[in-house]
Amino acid sequence: MQYVISLDIGGTNLRAAIINDKYQIVNSLRRSTIVGSVDLFLKQVAEIITDLDYKKYNPIAISMGVPGRVRSNGFIDALPNIHIENIPLREYVEYYFKIPAMVRNDAEMAGLAEAAIGQGKNLYSTFFITISTGVGGAYIQDRKICQYSNEIGHTLVHYHNSYYELEKIASGSGIINLCRLNGIEIERTSQFFERIRLRDTAIFPVFNDWLDILDSFFTDIVAAFSPSIIVLTGGVMKSADVFLDEIIRRHPEVIIKPAGFDQDAGLIGGAAFGFLNKGSANK
Model confidence pLDDT, tens digit, residues 17-43? 999 999 999 999 999 999 999 999 999
Q: What is the mean pLDDT of residues 252-280?
A: 87
pLDDT at 149: 46
* Same domain (yes/no): 145, 249: yes
pLDDT at 181: 96
* Same domain (yes/no): 211, 101: no
* Same domain (yes/no): 92, 190: no
Q: Does residue 276 have a pLDDT over 70? A: yes
In-domain check, residue 136:
yes
pLDDT at 176: 96
Range of the domain at 161: 121-259
For 174, the enclosing helix (H) or strand (E) is helix 172-181
In-domain check, residue 60:
yes
* Same domain (yes/no): 94, 209: no
| Number of Cβ within a 10 Å radius of residue 22 | 9
* Same domain (yes/no): 132, 250: yes
* Same domain (yes/no): 65, 128: no
In-domain check, residue 115:
no
Q: Does residue 257 have a pLDDT over 80? A: yes
Domain tally, the chain: 2
pLDDT at 29: 98
Q: Does residue 278 have a pLDDT over 70? A: no
pLDDT at 147: 64
* Same domain (yes/no): 224, 129: yes
In-domain check, residue 116:
no
- CATH code for the domain in which residue 191 is found: 3.30.420.40
* Same domain (yes/no): 12, 84: yes
Q: What is the mean pLDDT of residues 243-271?
A: 93
Lowest mean pLDDT among 18-27, 50-59, 128-137: 128-137
Q: What is the mean pLDDT of residues 220-241?
A: 94
Helix residue ranges, H only, 61-155: 89-97, 106-117
pLDDT in tens, 105-132: 888 898 999 998 899 999 999 999 989 8
pLDDT at 263: 77
In-domain check, residue 25:
yes
Phi, psi of 46 (to 5 degrees): -65, -40
In-domain check, residue 14:
yes
pLDDT in tens, 159-212: 999 999 999 999 999 999 999 999 999 999 999 999 999 999 999 999 999 999
pLDDT at 265: 85
* Same domain (yes/no): 246, 129: yes
In-domain check, residue 213:
yes
pLDDT band at 279 (very low <50, low <70, confident <90, very high): very low
| Rounded Cα gap, residues 283 and 61, in angstroms | 14
pLDDT at 95: 97
In-domain check, residue 230:
yes
| Rounded Cα gap, residues 184 and 186, in angstroms | 7
Phi, psi of 11 (to 5 degrees): -70, -20
Query: Where are the extended beta strands (E) located within 98-228?
Result: 101-105, 125-131, 135-141, 144-146, 156-159, 162-165
* Same domain (yes/no): 129, 190: yes
Q: Helices 240-250 and 189-197: crossing angle, nearest 10°?
A: 80
* Same domain (yes/no): 154, 234: yes
* Same domain (yes/no): 127, 214: yes
